[in-house]
Amino acid sequence: MSYDSFETLKISIDGPIATVTITREAALNALSSNVIGELAHAAGELEISTDIRVVILTGAGDKAFVAGADIAEMVDMTPVQARAFSEMGGALGDAIESSEKPWIAAVNGFALGGGCELALACDFIYASDKAKLGQPEVALGVIPGFGGTQRLARRVGVAKCKELCMTGDRITAAEALRIGLVDAVWPHAELMAKVTEVALRIAANGPLAVAEVKRLVHEGQSAPLDQALALEQRSFGLLFGTADQREGMAAFIAKRKPVFKGQ
């Protein structure tokens, strides 16, 4: 499978890890329709790959992960066009969130507006100590359109979400860590190495089990506790019918590393 056909993305594969880099550095990696479309296409291609187990998402250069949606493209949109653009960004977020593979946002600079929303769709957000995050759309007379009012509230709580979305404040990586918006902050020069370490630890585990953890945690948030627990119990039982379970437990007893095949 070739990943060389994208205009705005670079995709590099290192063993079970795919790193997707948005390459509009001159535009601070802003999310145009083309970028969103290519990211959605890349997500689909990576999803069907049996070799890729974890995806890292980042931005080119040292200034921005994604500085926001492309305002130059949005400025003359009609209400109908703006809704379609919002739905396009929303579909991308849904594709990342519903992927069986973990997605990790490596926030190496500005993650504002659509950039913050793109990170929020990922399973983990790890940030450089130089990163700045926020939802500044109200300063433009609009609101977050790619899931910010909803995923941000689920991450940091309702009041803090409203504060960030109503003030449009940009916060430091340290403050983002304090409120739970990001999961770790590392020195800028160490970010990608640290993120890759986490990705490799995840990739070493049973991929079917990892996918079930992601699915169950996501689905369980909107279900009553008794129903969510029943979903977990069902999945726990079903995984005992997989080759990965047999390999994992046999390897544990034999005191060797397991070799999982996702079967």
Positions annotated as catalytic residues are 117, 137
Cα–Cα distance, 49 to 150 (Å, whole number): 30
Nearest to 21 by CA among 51, 66, 72: 66
Q: Which two tokens stand for residue 244?
A: 């990965």
Phi, psi dihedral angles at 40 (to 5 degrees): -65, -40
**Contact present, 81 and 46 (Cβ < 8 Å):** no
**Rg, C-alpha atoms of the chain:** 19
Dihedral over alpha carbons 16, 117, 218, 92 (to 10 degrees):
-60
Cα–Cα distance, 214 to 27 (Å, whole number): 33
